[in-house]
Amino acid sequence: MTMAVKIAPVRKTIRVNATQARAFDAFTSGLGRWWPRDHSIGNKPMKAAVMETRLGGRWYELAEDGTQANVGRIIVWEPPQRFVMTWDINSHWKPDTTISSEVEVRFVADGANATRVELEHRKFEQMGAEAGESMRKDVDGGWPRLLELFRTEAA
């Protein structure tokens, strides 16, 4: 039997007193209302975390000076059940599209007015493996601004 190299995911579950639809909306379009300001990955004071609520949409941080720092991109969008996003943050906790892990959040109705929210942060093994290939894509005309940000950060 073959076994892929895999690093155990981080899993979290909480139960909230809200309907599935409300929980999903509050988590996604309402992200800016609750995302802790000190959970910032940008290098400037964060004004709010923003999620573009659609497939391919971004999760980014809006700094007080109006600049943005991308956290990830939505790759599965199934409201109000679940979404999956890339988490383009490197091991120094800075934006870096060359390094992606993945975050899935599921919303499971638990009675009439409660929802179980299951979060899984996984694929950490990609953080080393994909660096080479993604780097090429970026150089080929990907996200130059972000790469610039990373360069500044890494310098």
Partner 1 sequence: MTYVSALAALADPTRRQVFERLKFGPQPVSVIARGMPVSRPAVSQHLKALKEAGLVADRPEGTRRVYFIDPQGLGELRRWLDQFWDEALAAFQTEVERGASDQESKGK
Q: Does 4 bind partner 1 (CB under 8 A)?
A: yes
Q: What are phi and psi of 50, to 5 degrees?
A: -130, 135
Q: Does 109 bind partner 1 (CB under 8 A)?
A: no
CA distance 102 to 130: 13
**Window of 21-29, 58-66, 76-84, 139-147 that interacts with partner 1 by CB under 8 A:** 21-29
CA distance 27 to 17: 13
CB of 72 to partner 1, least distance (A): 14
| Cβ closest to partner 1, residue 74 vs residue 107 | 107
CB of 12 to partner 1, least distance (A): 5
CA distance 130 to 29: 30
Diameter over CA atoms, the chain: 54
CB of 30 to partner 1, least distance (A): 7
**Sign of CA pseudo-dihedral 71, 73, 76, 82:** positive
Q: What are phi and psi of 146, to 5 degrees?
A: -70, -40
Q: Does 108 bind partner 1 (CB under 8 A)?
A: no
| Cβ closest to partner 1, residue 66 vs residue 132 | 132
Q: Does 92 bind partner 1 (CB under 8 A)?
A: yes
Q: Does 5 bind partner 1 (CB under 8 A)?
A: yes
Give the footprint of partner 1 on residues 47-86 (CB under 8 A): none
